[in-house]
Amino acid sequence: MKKILLICSIALASIGQFANGQCSDKTIKRLCKDGLGTYIFESAAFKPLTAFGAKKNSVEAAFSVYSQESYRVLNLCQGFSDAIEFAIYDTEHNLLFSNKTDKSVKFYDFVAQKSGDFTIEFKIPAADAKSTSSCVAFAIGYK
């Protein structure tokens, strides 16, 4: 019984390590440097898709903005079967931007009109819902 417990636990731990490997710090840093351009790094958030639970069809995150400040939001999602659709909402949850018509667009630049929380929403393709190799990630830059 103890041997079975140990083997299963090692397997579970290994799966966890593999999943985390999809959001590697080196990859995120490289993508930030390449994608932020002249914007200064503010913050990044990254998690394996598996961290958000099963059958997620969208993932949302809030990020702080200050009025009259210039920002770039950078979509850094990796390991999906197709380019990820994402949308940005302002402090009142009005849609400001979506790359729905051209998913190859990876960033959105804006000047915040009001201080508060903006929201980024990622649409997860059904084909990837149970993917263990997908990473949900974004970065914020400012000027």
Partner 1 sequence: MNLRNRFATAGLVLSVAFGCGQNTEKEAGSADSVSADSALMARDSVAESKTQDFFQSLPSPIHVARIFQRAGLKFISGITNPASNASKYMSPYSKSINLGVYTTDLAYCTFNDQSQEAISYFKAVKTLTDGLNLTSIFESTNMVPRFEKNIGNKDSLVTLMATMSMESDILLKQTSRLDIAYLSFAGAWTESAYIATQMLKNKRNADILKRLLDQNNSLGKLITLLQDFDEKQQFESLITSLSDIKASLDVLNSENTTTHEEEFKKLTSKVETLRNKIVNDN
Site for partner 1, rule CB under 8 A: 5-6, 8-10, 12-14, 16-17, 23-25, 28-29, 32, 40-47, 51-52, 59-64, 66-67, 69, 115-117, 136, 140, 142
Q: 41 or 97: whose CB is closer to partner 1? A: 41
Do the Cβ atoms of 91 and 118 come closer than 8 Å? yes
Question: What tokens does 84 get?
Answer: 């990820």
User: What distance in Å separates the CA atoms of residue 18 and residue 132, rounded to the nearest whole number?
Assistant: 8
Contact 81, 125 (CB under 8 A): yes
Cβ distance to partner 1 smaller for residue 44 or 87: 44
Query: Which is closer to partner 1, CB of 40 or CB of 95?
Result: 40
Tell me the longest C-alpha to C-alpha distance in the chain: 62
CB of 100 to partner 1, least distance (A): 22
